[in-house]
């Protein structure tokens, strides 16, 4: 009986639910979080489960948005953070994607780069802050290079993996039709790898957007990270939660936009999968 109910709710293993079911479940998740938040912060301050000094109620938090927007120039600081991410992550893509595709095409290069990329992926992100401060100072260059160094190893490895995932039968077919080595690279491997490379960049951009908050807490010079630190030190604490919610919403919007762009740019990939 229990197994039948479980199958009715969850469906078959790895089976995608209908769109309306996914929307309903996602909405229910958000509603549950807001309800628990309200439940823990309702009533007068002395009776609350969580002190308002730590977490204000949903209504109180939302009411402080006006001061965050006008008094602390939320839009301007958001633009600064996005611009820094675009510069640093764009540089990581310009460097990492060609190197990754080359490494996935020529395996000796992959072996040569393996220690470097392994080191880059396993260095704690927080450790890069003092390192980039030492190398680049505290101005804009430090923040851009922080994003670049934090991202480039991941971009390279994912581009390599996407290139290696191109099925060998396409390469063999091209050789059979008389294509040269470089024609296979330019007309088979790169076009077939690019959709997965782009999808990887889409996912990594969300991580880079989170990284910039850490870099912006260093010298208190504009950006969402600076706003978070100011709000944590001087108050109101509600601004911290509003900024975190904003970051999640902006990252989600960018992710959906990039996903739509990828489907438009690489329609042949999705048409073949349909």
Structure confidence by residue, pLDDT tens digits, 254-266: 888 988 888 888 8
Percent over 70 (pLDDT), the chain: 92
Q: Which of 176, 177, 179, 195 is nearest to 187 (CA)?
A: 179
Residue in the block written with tokens 């010079």: 221
Looking from the CA of 131 toward its CB, the CA atoms found within 13 Å total: 12
Structure confidence by residue, pLDDT tens digits, 101-147: 999 999 898 899 888 888 888 888 888 888 888 888 878 888 899 99
Q: Return the C-alpha torsion angle 198, 204, 206, 211, nearest 10.
A: -150
194-158-110 Cα angle (round to 5): 105
**273 band by pLDDT with thresholds 50, 70 and 90:** low
Domains of the chain, start order: 70-273 (1.10.3720.10)
pLDDT at 272: 58
Asked if 102 and 158 count as a contact pair (C-beta separation under 8 A), the reply is: no
Region for residue 271 given its phi and psi (left: phi exceeds 0; alpha: psi -120 to 50; beta: otherwise) = alpha
**8 band by pLDDT with thresholds 50, 70 and 90:** low
**22 band by pLDDT with thresholds 50, 70 and 90:** confident
Asked if 154 and 218 count as a contact pair (C-beta separation under 8 A), the reply is: no
- Does the structure show a pLDDT above 80 at 84? yes
**Does residue 242 have a cis peptide bond before it, meaning omega lies within 30 degrees of 0?**
no
Report the largest interatomic distance among the alpha carbons of the chain, rounded to a whole angstrom: 80
Residue in the block written with tokens 């870099």: 215
**Mean pLDDT, rounded, of the chain:** 85
Would you call 19 exposed, middle or buried from its count of C-beta atoms within 10 A (0-12, 13-18, 19+)?
A: exposed
């Amino acid at each position: 009986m229990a197994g039948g109910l479980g199958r009715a709710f969850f469906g078959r293993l790895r089976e995608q639910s209908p769109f309306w079911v996914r929307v309903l479940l996602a909405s229910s998740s958000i509603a549950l979080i807001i309800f628990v938040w309200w439940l823990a912060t309702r009533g007068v301050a002395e009776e609350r489960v969580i002190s308002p000094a730590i977490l204000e109620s949903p209504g109180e938090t939302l009411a402080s948005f006006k001061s965050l927007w006008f008094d602390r120039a939320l839009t301007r600081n958001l633009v600064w953070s996005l611009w820094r991410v675009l510069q640093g992550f764009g540089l990581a893509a310009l460097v990492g994607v060609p190197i990754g595709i080359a490494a996935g095409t020529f395996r000796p290069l992959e072996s040569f780069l393996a220690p470097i990329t392994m080191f880059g992926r396993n260095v704690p992100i927080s450790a890069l802050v003092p390192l980039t401060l030492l190398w680049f100072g505290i101005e804009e260059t430090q923040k851009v290079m922080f994003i670049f160094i934090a991202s480039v190893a991941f971009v390279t490895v994912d581009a390599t993996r996407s290139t290696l995932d191109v099925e060998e039968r396409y390469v063999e077919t091209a050789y059979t039709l008389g294509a040269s080595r470089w024609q296979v690279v330019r007309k088979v491997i790169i076009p077939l790898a690019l959709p997965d490379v782009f999808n990887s960049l889409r996912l990594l951009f969300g991580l880079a957007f989170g990284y910039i908050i850490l870099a912006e807490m260093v010298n208190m010079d504009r950006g969402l990270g600076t706003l978070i630190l100011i709000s944590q030190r001087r108050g109101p604490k509600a601004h911290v939660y509003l900024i975190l919610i904003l970051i999640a919403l902006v990252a989600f919007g960018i992710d959906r936009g990039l996903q739509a762009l990828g489907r438009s740019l690489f329609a042949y990939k999705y048409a073949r999968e349909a």
